[in-house]
């Protein structure tokens, strides 16, 4: 449908307003005198044509008014009604079609606004649903170690552990459950920070090698208990990136902790870091069973855990990989999951490398 501007319609209306009375005058003059010549007949012969011309003028005003109402007033009234519906929270509005270009542009602007509000509303509803789900699921996960911790503490208090060996075992279980609680709370706090807060990251130049090495060192106890070997293949340079070192170390801890928990006894975890042009890439390859197809499709979903290997018995809340992915994305990178051709899971990602243009000296 071709659209015209208001000034074009105004010019056409003036032309119509000028022509219609003249057409009525000439037509009536011809009917009454059988001639269109002026000034040759009696003076009163123009009375009826003048009345017809005046009637044509009124008709022109009436038709222009109807057309302007259809083209201008009705669309504006409907857009006003749509605006009131939107203000009331009803986003299911019907916007009018029009051939007036200016009003069509306003309509298109309304449509963009409505679409944006619908997307925002759906996103907000999804976030609210996810928030409730996360709180309910983590609250459920917190109950298990809390009940176990309370039970073992009651046992110690009531003297059920009669020998030093039994007491030491009870204390070890209590320490394990408290660490599990600490991990759950930290996961929930980090997830909430990444999902619902827009805090600026404390970005500074940092060595990615050092960040990964700190994460490896923090997991030495767990890896030694399962006799898991870490094999590292780092590039000679430091792989300097712009990062919030504390937050990024949290992400790498989650990735390596995931690898340790799902790598069998006497297994191996291979960590590769390389620098290519403008990015620093990494890959973590464990010797476990790898991901199933369903896990590959959903592994980064909040609170998702596979039915066999990824369950609550491992002590996680199902937020670790989600947190890691979002932290890496906040740093301008990406994280993906896959399976290695020789077996085992592979978590790989990259970050933008820092291009330092310093000239030596502080």
Whole-model pTM? 0.56
pLDDT at 129 over 60: yes
Enter the DSSP assignment of 70: I
Residue 280 tokens, joined: 């620093």
Average pLDDT over residues 55-61: 87
Q: Confidence band (pLDDT; 50, 70, 90) for 359?
A: very low
Q: Confidence band (pLDDT; 50, 70, 90) for 21?
A: confident
Residue 284 near residue 260 (C-beta atoms within 8 A) = no
pLDDT for position 72: 81
pLDDT for position 116: 86
Q: State how far the Cα of 332 lies from the Cα of 144, in Å rounded to an integer.
A: 37
Residue 87 tokens, joined: 């203000």
Q: What is the pLDDT of residues 264-303, one digit of tens each?
A: 999 999 999 998 878 899 999 999 888 888 888 888 877 6
Top-confidence range, 84-93, 235-244, 247-256? 247-256
Higher pLDDT, 328 or 181: 328
Residue 155 near residue 161 (C-beta atoms within 8 A) = yes
Measure CA 91 to chain center.
20
Q: State how far the Cα of 181 lies from the Cα of 100, in Å rounded to an integer.
A: 65
Q: Confidence band (pLDDT; 50, 70, 90) for 361?
A: very low
């Amino acid at each position: 449908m071709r659209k015209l501007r208001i000034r074009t319609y105004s010019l056409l209306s003036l032309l119509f307003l000028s022509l219609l009375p003249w057409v009525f005058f000439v037509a009536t003059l011809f009917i009454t005198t059988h001639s269109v010549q002026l000034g040759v007949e009696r003076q009163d012969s123009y009375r009826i044509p003048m009345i017809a011309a005046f009637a044509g003028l009124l008709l022109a005003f009436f038709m222009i008014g109807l057309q302007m109402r259809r083209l201008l007033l009705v669309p504006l009234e409907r857009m006003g009604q749509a605006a009131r519906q939107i203000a009331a929270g009803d986003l299911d509005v019907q916007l009018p079609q029009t051939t007036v270009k200016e009003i069509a542009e306003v309509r298109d602007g309304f449509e963009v606004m409505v679409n944006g509000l619908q997307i925002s509303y759906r996103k907000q509803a999804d976030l609210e649903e996810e928030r409730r789900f996360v709180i309910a699921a983590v609250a459920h996960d917190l109950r298990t170690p809390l009940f176990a911790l309370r039970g073992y503490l009651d046992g110690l208090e009531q003297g059920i552990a009669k020998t030093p060996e039994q007491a030491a075992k009870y204390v070890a279980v209590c320490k394990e459950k408290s660490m599990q609680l600490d991990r759950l709370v930290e996961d929930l706090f980090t997830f909430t920070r990444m999902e619902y807060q827009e805090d600026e990251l404390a970005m500074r130049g940092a060595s990615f090698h050092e960040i990964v090495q700190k994460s490896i060192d923090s997991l030495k106890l767990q890896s030694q208990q399962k006799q898991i070997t870490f094999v590292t293949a780092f590039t000679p340079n430091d792989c300097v990136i712009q990062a919030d070192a504390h937050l990024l170390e949290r992400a790498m801890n989650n990735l390596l902790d995931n690898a340790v928990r799902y790598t069998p006894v006497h297994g191996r975890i291979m960590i590769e870091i390389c620098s290519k042009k403008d990015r620093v890439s990494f890959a973590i390859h464990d010797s476990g069973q790898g991901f199933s197809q369903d896990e590959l499709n959903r592994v980064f979903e909040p609170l998702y855990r596979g039915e066999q290997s990824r369950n609550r018995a491992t002590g996680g809340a199902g937020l670790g990989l989600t947190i890691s992915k979002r932290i890496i994305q906040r740093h301008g990178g990406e994280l993906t999951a896959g399976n290695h051709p020789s077996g085992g899971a592979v978590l790989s990602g990259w970050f933008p490398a820092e291009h330092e243009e310093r000239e030596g000296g502080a």
